Structure 1
Amino acid sequence: MLRHIFIGPTFPACTEASLSGVVETLSELPALVPWIRDFSVKQTLDWSATRAVVLIAEFDSREDWERYMHEPKHLALGDRIKDFIDLSSMTVVLTDA
């Protein structure tokens, strides 16, 4: 198993409502990408120095993860959050699950 961890920092002007909307949008992923084994998405606590969304998705194999990374439905969600999440400053790491 493989764990994909995405940390997407917000732009400074991102409101609490917008950040909640980002979490709702990203919550659609398991329905769009059924080969995700396990999934969670949360926003950071508001007293944290960095406001961000943190997404964790688990996959059975590297092939499933690579398929996810190129899946048009996954990539389309990036277009829907790009006004609130600074995708140029995002972090993606992979670990064993």
Structure 2
Amino acid sequence: MTIKEQLLQEIESTSDTILTETLDFLRFLKTKETRTQPIPEVADSAVHAPGNSTGHSLLEHLQTIGKWEGDDLQECQEMVYATRGKAKFNDYNPFE
């Protein structure tokens, strides 16, 4: 009996709740598999598709940026603090 046949046999005797989780997991695995395979036209270039960044690619990119220049660092930080949203929790929030 093949793996596919075994899976189909198990599916027949499984509840919808477990099948829903199983389907989500299977889709996750398929997505993970496609992310680990290099894309031929991108593999040899420095350009990466959105959502496919890795820690290594981000570190490589940081090396190309250079150093901070200018005198507006404080102003940029203040803008970030002023415009960021507050976290919302549906449950008990120990930080409130």
Asked if TM exceeds 0.5, the reply is: no
Decide which structure has greater strand share: 1
Q: Return the structure number with greater helix share.
A: 2
Choose between structure 1 and 2 for higher RCO, CA contacts under 8 A separated by at least 6 residues: 1
Normalised TM-score (structure 1) = 0.25
Which structure: larger Rg?
2
- TM-score, normalization by structure 2: 0.25
